[in-house]
Amino acid sequence: GAAGWAFAADSQTSSPATMAKPAPAKTDTMPQKLVDLPDFTPIVNKYGNAIVKIDDSDTKIVRGGAGNTTDPFPRNSPFYQFFQGFSGANPPQKEKMEALGSGFIISHNGYIVTAGHVVRGMHHIIVTLTNHHAYPAKVVGLSVRYDTALLKIDAHNLPTVELGNSRNLRVGQWLLAIGMPFGFYNTVTQGVVSALNRPLPHDDEYIPFIQSDVPINPGNSGGPIFNMEGQVVGINDQIYTNDGGYMGLSFSIPINTAMRAVHAFEEHKKLRFGWLGVDVQEVNPQMAQALHLKEPVGALVASVSPHEAAARAGLKPGDVIVTYNHEAVYSVGQLPPLVGDTPPGTTVPMGILHNGKPETLQVTIGTMPAKMRHVEAEKTADIRRLGLRVTTLGQAAQKRLGIHHGVEIESIYPGPAAQMGLTDGMIIQQIDQHEVNSPEQLQQIVHKLPAHTPIPLLIRQGHQSLYVVITLPAH
């Protein structure tokens, strides 16, 4: 609009021959460009031939069912997560599908890195170079937790990529992806770093993902993302999507994380993960108020396994972890990647809030157990203010559950407990940051608690612990 108005005004006093004028010389008062648009052609020309296609035709298992039909709690219930992981009744189905992914060559003699899920379950892996030469490949190593795999093909004098340092990435920096979306060779897409150390739930909790807006589609998985120096800083791993296509959210494995697994594979060593021995949960605003915290940040410790690293360092349920090895922990999802990436046996400082007061613990990190323990809960004073009846937790149940205190809910009747969704069989381990060791003790603590005030309550169901906030009525 402004340009059109200026053109019209100028045309009243200027002839067509005098209207086109050279741009004025730059002066200190004129706005300067802060950034230049990038040209990625040097990266493509130098490293494009080091990108490979990985495929296989195989019969794979596809899980049936859209959700968990056995969960008795709604999604907004604080106990919904207790029942996740138990499959519904729908059986798995076999489906003929073409497995397809990307990878990149890291050595002249045929070592290739890709995402673990690309080759997991493949029987006949075929690696195809950009010159269309195809080679059978074998898996040297695969980490499910880091979703990283190392392949080997029988070839020599191959082009390779240059590896970078993903810790040097900053939000806003340009990124370039080269891969095989839908099988199209050497497709190049670009974007910027949207976020760093992005946690994702479930199997990927040990990967501090790089989030970007680089367009990624099926077939890109396992391919590299480059920084502006032409160095690989990540492995394209997954996208956030409703329809299977790109929607502006892409997630990549940092190359430092992936290469930790690759180096273990190359040396034929077992990949070991750091281990604290705690259950943690998010600190929401209501929980922060109940715990007398200034702001809802950190990872709230819901339970501490006896004789593990956290217990030996003095960590207690109700403590809030706010720093780990000098890195801030703003949310619960940041903690597992930091701990998992720490070599077992390393002693690191951990900043906590204990009863709202800052402390620093020195924690010697343990080793993640090869098999995680999965235990079930067992199933005596009326706590009228809570609206429930509890029973003593026997020694056998304590041993089986790996806990040393708590009382079991025997029955529920109308009251605050029912409103919160508590059910019989759950175990109350702590209330208002006081450990509960007997029904009588719980009765005494509850009697002294103020009315109409949020109170933190630590509940255990099976092998999981969870803090909830409960408000008590007047006596």
Annotated catalytic residues are: 117, 147, 221
Q: Would you give the DSSP letter of residue 61?
A: E
Phi/psi region, residue 93 (left: phi>0; alpha: psi -120 to 50; beta: rest), is beta
Measured from the Cβ of residue 15, the count of other Cβ atoms closer than 10 Å reads: 7
Identity of residue 289: Q
Query: What are the CA-CA distances from residue 400 to residues 369, 375, 380, 394, 459 (Å)?
Result: 17, 7, 19, 10, 17
N- to C-terminal Cα separation, the chain:
70
**What token pair was written down for 106?**
């890291």
The beta strand positions in 199-319, using DSSP E, are: 209-212, 224-226, 231-239, 250-254, 274-275, 278-282, 299-304
Q: Would you give the DSSP letter of residue 77?
A: S
Whole-angstrom distance, CA of residue 185 vs CA of residue 181:
8
Helices marked H in 94-174: 116-119
Whole-angstrom distance, CA of residue 280 vs CA of residue 349:
18
Give rounded-to-5 percent helix, strand, coil for the chain.
Answer: 20, 35, 45
Query: What are the CA-CA distances from residue 323 to residues 185, 297, 315, 352 (Å)?
Result: 44, 10, 13, 7
The residues facing 122 across adjacent strands are: none
Given a contact cutoff of 8 angstroms between Cβ atoms, the answer to whether 429 and 303 are in contact is yes
Among 79, 71, 68, CA closest to 419: 79
Give the largest CA-CA distance in the chain: 100
SS (H, E, C) 380-395: CCEECCCCEEEEECCH
